[in-house]
Every structure is written in C-alpha cells, then in structure tokens.
Amino acid sequence: MVEQPVFPGYLFARLTPYDAATVKTTRGVVQILGPAPDRFSIVPDEQVEAVRTMVESRLTVDPYPYLKVGTRVEVKHGPMKGLQGILVDRRKRLRLVISVDLLGKSISAEVSAEQVEAI
C-alpha cells in the first residue's frame, strides 16, 4: 500500500493574523490562499471534518474531479454516517464525493446505495 496526500501541496491550519505572517515567511510556503494578500480564505469546518472522516475510515479514497452539480446526499449507515456530499453513480456501486469548495478539489469513496439518502 502506498500512501499519498489527498490534496498534495495544501496544508489546512487555523491561523491568527499574527500566525499567518509567520507562516508566510516559512521556507517552502508559496502563499496562503485568499482574496487579497492581507485576507485568507476560510474552509468550512464541516468540509475539513468530512475529509478527515473519509481518510480515517480506512475505506479507499481517491482524488476526484471537483463537481459543482449533482445530487447532495447524507450517509445514514456505516463508518461515514452523517457525512454529506455529492453522489456519483459508478458501476452498480455509488461514490460519495466530498468537495472542498475553496480549493476546487474533491475526494471520493465507494458506498452502498442503501447507505445514503438524498437531502
């Protein structure tokens, strides 16, 4: 098994403005994402937690093209119970896609149709 980052090159962090100034000068940091040099973007906690839950579930997760459209669903059973995401049909199995809007990136995991309900 080979492990690789879900979102290569990105680090999620909780920063104060003071911390951001320190991080910006850290070797290897290219930039902090944001609409202006003095403002950084906020990834909603639910999206960070959803990615963490998928990765920690020990299910196979794969990077997935970012999707803006699709049916939003909630997982009702299993190790990802309570997660919401976009559902994509794939070969008699379903894939739940969790997107991080700010990055325009997503990851996906296979789930059974019985595990999800449309919301």
In a domain, 13, yes or no: no
22-48 pLDDT per residue, tens:
998 999 998 888 888 778 898 999 999
In a domain, 19, yes or no: no
List the CATH number of the domain containing 53.
Answer: 2.30.30
In percent, the amount of the chain with pLDDT more than 90 equals 11
Q: Which pLDDT score is estimated for 53?
A: 92
- Residue 4: partners with Cβ closer than 8 Å, 6 or more residues away: none
Q: How many domains does the chain have?
A: 1
Query: Which of 1-10, 35-44, 91-100 reaches the highest mean pLDDT?
Result: 35-44
pTM metric for this prediction: 0.64
- The tokens for 6 are 């879900």
In a domain, 108, yes or no: yes
In a domain, 74, yes or no: yes
| Lowest-confidence region among 5-14, 26-35, 43-52, 58-67 | 58-67
In a domain, 32, yes or no: no
104-114 pLDDT per residue, tens:
888 888 777 77
Q: Which pLDDT score is estimated for 67?
A: 46
Q: Which pLDDT score is estimated for 27?
A: 92
Average pLDDT over residues 8-16: 88
In a domain, 80, yes or no: yes
In a domain, 58, yes or no: yes
Contact indicator for 33, 101 with CB cutoff of 8 Å: no
Among 67, 62, 40, 42, CA closest to 51: 62
Q: Which pLDDT score is estimated for 2?
A: 64
In a domain, 47, yes or no: yes
Q: How far apart are CA 57 and CA 67, in angstroms?
A: 22
Q: Which residue segment(s) compose the domain that 90 sits in? A: 42-118
